[in-house]
Amino acid sequence: MESTEASVTFQLGWPQMHHLFALLCLVAVVKLTMLLAERRDAFRNIETFPGPPAHWLFGHVKEFKQDGTDLEKFVKWGQKYPYAFPLWFGPFVCFINIHHPDYVKTILTSTEPKDDLSYRFMESWIGEGLLVSKGQKWFRHRRLLTPGFHYDVLKPYIKLVSDSAKTMLDKWESYANTNESFELFNHVSLMTLDSILKCAFSDNSNCQTESGTNAYIKAVYELSDLINLRFRTFPYHNDLIFYLSPHGFRYRKVRKVACSHTEEVIRKRKEALKEEKELDRVQARRNLDFLDILLLARDEKQQGLSDEDLRAEVDTFMFEGHDTTASGISFIFYALACHPEHQKICREEIIQALDGKDTMEWDDLSKIPYTTMCIKESLRLYPPVPGMSRKITKPMTFFDGRTLPKGSLIGTSVYGIHRNAAVWENPNVFDPLRFLPENVSTRSPHAFVPFSAGPRNCIGQTFAMNELKVATALTLKRYQLIEDPAHKPMLIPRLVLRSLNGIHIKIQPVDPQE
């Protein structure tokens, strides 16, 4: 009896299963047809842009070995294909990679939004903050956040950054005089996280002196790697496939760690601001910070940021405000360690500017022009954000007459621009004199874009440059930075520029008699 019922159930269920399978096949065929049509259109759209040969299925993905040579491959391709060339990621996704100031100017002077592929993979982590938002939402947020970067707000940050830098340098005493190299990226990451928490969120976290690995920094490292992996793995472009994968599971786990960190920062501040509704009243008690301005910002309709928008901006600034500057400072230290002759000039300038002080003040920032040139030259050779991308909403024509249609994906290789031999003489040579005013005036302003350019440039670039100056000045005043030839950085492009094998230097205390 039971077997008969089972047989009847099976016979009744099979037609439904058959129809479901047929429907899935139909959906798959339609989707594949659409993708093939997109591929055909993409080939037609890039006809005037020759580039390196691509595999029919993998595109150029297999060309990138993740072994520290990928960025140099971009530069070599740029020499062969001037201005721009196509890059395929899988069989259906094509970016036009641009690497010349005259092309970069066209895209960066526009307000075209970030692309909806690679940046989409970040949204579940940092939300629709300034980095990825577009249209009216981006304009509104940019306007609301701009007061947070006024120099009156930034001024008190110099002492806070100095304190964070001195904490890091105190820890470095254990490495001085040992003649042993150490990996500095993690140290600098803790210092920049400490700085951003103090400056932007008035949070004295003591993250530099806590034992063990900082959970937030570890989570940011992993998220960066997983987002990069997802972009390079075509099946992972599908949300469901990535969600079900082991990498998707890991992504959700570390994202929770990162987001809980920022949620706790917001919660503590909201609690403290319960009684205060105006910035003037807050400022009467203490210096304003970025989070004050976010919480109390109002547009012309007296509307503030929603809780979701607030979290997105805090997540964005927490990530961008510590990870990009950590990359920048780490490579500045490495570059100066490799060029002791320039390091010596910087140190002399810094000692004269500080005039016996062991901390930096606002007025000191303008007294170290040679050090500033060295910082800019390091940002040229090692841009913290090695690339960025946009999706154009209307046809775009470049100076040489070539046009891309609406919907095209355009990648800007900041690393490629900064090492373009057609723009920079001896581009791989460290030469801070490139940034003398008379030399800068002969170049396109879009030849040097470590903070992007145009209306969507980095809103925090003044804060970032100030932090780079303070960290560099206080470090050189206290230590000699020495290259470790056995550990050359192997550069890899992630969300920020990193080194596959870390960034190693040696240090010695500066002789006060010198």
Per the annotation, where are the binding residues?
A: 458
Distance CA 316, CA 497 (A): 17
Question: Tokens for 386?
Answer: 């090695």
Quickly count: other Cβ atoms within 10 Å of residue 131's Cβ: 24
**Phi and psi torsions of 254, nearest 5°:** -75, -30
For 287-316, the pLDDT digits (tens) are 678 888 888 888 888 888 888 999 999 999
The parts of the chain modelled with pLDDT lower than 50 are: 8, 10, 284
* Region 44-509: CATH code: 1.10.630.10
Q: Residue length, the chain?
A: 514
Distance CA 409, CA 422 (A): 24
User: Residue 277: what pLDDT?
Assistant: 56
Q: Which residues pair with 98 in a beta bridge?
A: 84, 412
Distance CA 137, CA 128 (A): 9
C-alpha dihedral, 284 to 290 to 293 to 295, nearest 10°: -110
User: Residue 17: what pLDDT?
Assistant: 66
361 secondary structure, DSSP code:
-
Quickly count: other Cβ atoms within 10 Å of residue 77's Cβ: 19
Contact of 197 with 321, CB cutoff 8 Å:
no
Per the annotation, where are the binding residues for heme?
A: 458
